[in-house]
């Protein structure tokens, strides 16, 4: 489990490259491959985890 921001920063240091990952991560959340609590607003500090 980690925040969206922490995951993106762990992959890329460059802010532009980080920004390019956001749509892919939103897709993974929407498709259920990455989980989060969708009952609260989704922000960069939201916790995410892999589906078990």
pTM assigned to the model: 0.83
Q: Where are the domains of the chain?
A: 2-50
What is the per-residue pLDDT across 1-52, written as a single tens digit (0 to 9) for each? 999 999 999 999 999 999 999 999 999 999 999 999 999 999 999 999 998 7
Determine the pLDDT at residue 35.
97
**HEC sequence for 1-52:** CEEHHHHHHHHCCCHHHHHHHHHHHHHHHHCCCEECCCCCCCCCCCEEEECC
Nearest partner of 7 among 44, 52, 51, 43, judged by Cα: 44
Determine the pLDDT at residue 51.
82
């Amino acid at each position: 489990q980690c925040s969206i921001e922490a995951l993106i920063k762990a992959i890329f240091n460059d802010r532009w490259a980080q920004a390019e990952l956001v749509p892919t991560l939103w897709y993974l959340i929407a498709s259920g491959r990455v989980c989060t609590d969708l009952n609260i607003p989704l922000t960069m500090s939201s916790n995410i985890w892999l589906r078990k």
